[in-house]
Amino acid sequence: MRASEPGDPAYQLWLKGQGVYTTNGAVLAVIKKSAPERSDPDLFIFALPGNFHGYYRGYSQDTERTKNYLTWAILSVVDAVEFVRDMSKRNSDIKQEIIPGKEVQSAEQIAQFVKDNAWGHHASCSNPMGPASNSNAVVDSNFRVHGTKGLRIVDASVFPRIPGFFIVTPIHMIAEKASDVIIADAKNGVV
C-alpha cells in the first residue's frame, strides 16, 4: 500500500495535521559548534523517545515499545557526549544513563567508546568530484570517472566533503543534476 492511498490511516491523519507522518520522531534537536573558533556548527544532537540503538529490521517497533527511555542520537564528536550528559544532569526525570554508562567518564574513555561504537548510514566522499589535476578527485563535474569512458558515479561518494548533517537532499540534488547532464550528453552523442 502506498502512503497516499485511501486505506492508509496515517495518511488520513496527516491530512488533518496529525499522526506519525507529521513528525520525524525527534523531540528535541541541538545544532552547535564543538569549539567557538569553528566557522560552522559541527555537532548535531537530537533526542528520540524510546530505546534506539540503530537501524535493523523492526527497529521502529522496538523503539516504540520502550516509552520510558530517551535516546540522545549524536552525530559527530566526544564534545557532544559531554554536552548531552550535562543537559541530562539538569533533568530529574532522567534516572540512569545506559550507554555509554557510568563507567565511561574520562575524555579518553569517551573517545574510545565513540571510536568503538560509532556507526552511520550516510557514507560519502569516497569518490570525490574534482578536476583531473586533483589527485584525490575520482569524477569530473559531469560525474564521469577520470581516465575511463562510459562510466559515471552518481551517489553520495562524489561529494568532496560531507554536505551537512543529513545528506539526503544533496543526494537528490546531484541525482537531478546528473540526469540533466547524462540526457544532454546522450543528445549530443557524448559518452
Kindly report the CA angle at 30 between 15 and 122, in degrees rounded to 5?
75
Cα angle 78, 83, 89; round to 5: 130
122 is an active site residue: yes
Q: How many residues in total does the chain contain? A: 191
Task: Identify the active-site residue in 53, 122, 146, 172.
Answer: 122
Residue 69 vs residues 47, 51, 63: alpha-carbon distances, Å: 10, 5, 9
Q: Is the peptide bond before 41 cis (omega within 30 degrees of 0)?
A: no
107 CB-contact burial (10 Å; exposed 0-12 / middle 13-18 / buried 19+):
exposed
* Pairwise CA distance, residues 73 & 48, whole Å: 7
Please give the positions annotated as active site.
122
